[in-house]
Amino acid sequence: MASLTIAAQYSKKILLVLSIFFGGLLLLFIIFTFGKSIFEMIYPPNPDPALVAFGKLPEIPFAEGVQPPKNTAYKIETVTGDLKELNTSLKVFAIDTTSVPKFGDLASANDKAQKTQFALPPTSVVGDVATYVDSKNKSKTITINTITGDMSQTSDYINNTDLITNQIKDEEPVKSMAQAFLATFGMNPANYPQEKITTIRYKIDGGKLTEAISGSSANLIRVDFNRADLDNIPVVYSTWDKPKVTVLASAGEVVSAKATLSKIQEYRFSTYPLKGINKAFLDLKAGKAIYNKDLKGPEFSIRDVSLAYLDTDAVQTFLEPVYVFSSDEGLAAYVRAVADNWITTKPN
């Protein structure tokens, strides 16, 4: 019995020592974790260094947007009353601008034109651009770039009496028709998802295209295809009314369309330092920006600021970020975001 008692005492002592040992380890872990959190709050770690693998970048072309009026007053009217700090660096994506050999592919352009019911052969081929005419409607033409695949279709829809007397009851079939039309010209639905598709209803009134007040009075619907976000950063265009991928259609046909598809290489990128929100605001006030629409009045009220990628009609070798200063009624100002020392500026 004595030996059992001694063994029990030793077991209790061992359990006590182990409890103290593991309790001490747990306490040290808690102290270390809490202390590290406090230290990082006081001395935040430096952000990951930018890789800048592409070297100096070209300036984003700002010729397409609306130029800021002189003497515009900028007023910060955000929720907090100031401009929030955003990312210190961001990815820059390469854009594939390589050309098809042998001066383009006219056979491919012919195939696309024929699939969209345009007559062959093309009425003209000037440089890389082939033009086709609808055999049933001479006012309807389409141009296709045989190298890039970019497309633009126009027609005299304003004077089409059939369109004026017919209203669109359901926009979903029109959206589906627009998607099918653009698929012929190489649009990947994954790059232009459903949640990024927007529509505007129009009516033809007095020889002009005006936005329809009520849905039932619409003769045409403009379907705009906006590109999917890249790493949760949206892709924007220079002006709101000139999207790069858009279709204007009635209930039965596409009357106008445009598709300029940038070949963004999502897996070929490098991070670059950004100039910071304060420098961007100074650039905005200095007129180093473009608007996506006309400013009404002498004052630009800033409601929010964010980051986006600006995809222009002009050929770009890289998709670069911009600061977006958002105002009222969809008005936004874009300021180049990459730090100036990583931009190759053009001589004046």
pLDDT, tens only, 116-160: 999 999 999 998 999 999 988 999 999 999 988 899 999 999 998
Write down the mean pLDDT value for the chain: 87
pLDDT for res 311: 95
Burial class (CB in 10 A: 0-12, 13-18, 19+), 90: buried
| 36 backbone dihedrals φ, ψ, rounded to 5° | -65, -40
Mean pLDDT, rounded, for 79-84: 91
pLDDT for res 163: 86
> Residue 347: pLDDT above 70?
no
pLDDT for res 217: 82
Contact (Cβ atoms closer than 8 angstroms) between residue 198 and residue 246 = no
**CA 284 to CA 325: how far, in whole Å?**
9
> Residue 10: pLDDT above 90?
no
> Residue 236: pLDDT above 90?
yes
The sign of the dihedral angle between the CA atoms of 45, 47, 51, 56 is negative
**CA 143 to CA 138: how far, in whole Å?**
14
Q: What is the DSSP string of 23-56?
A: HHHHHHHHHHHHHHHHHHHHSPPPPPPP--TT-S
Confidence of residue 345 (pLDDT cuts 50, 70, 90): confident
Contact (Cβ atoms closer than 8 angstroms) between residue 338 and residue 88 = no
Residues in the chain: 348
C-alpha 195, offset from chain centre? 13
Q: Among 175, 119, 124, 147, which residue's Cα sits nearest to residue 260?
A: 147
Q: What is the pLDDT of residues 178-200, one digit of tens each?
A: 999 999 999 999 999 999 999 99
Mean pLDDT, rounded, for 244-248: 95
> Residue 49: pLDDT above 60?
no
Mean pLDDT, rounded, for 104-116: 91
> Residue 76: pLDDT above 80?
yes
What percent of the chain is modeled with pLDDT above 70? 83
Confidence of residue 47 (pLDDT cuts 50, 70, 90): very low
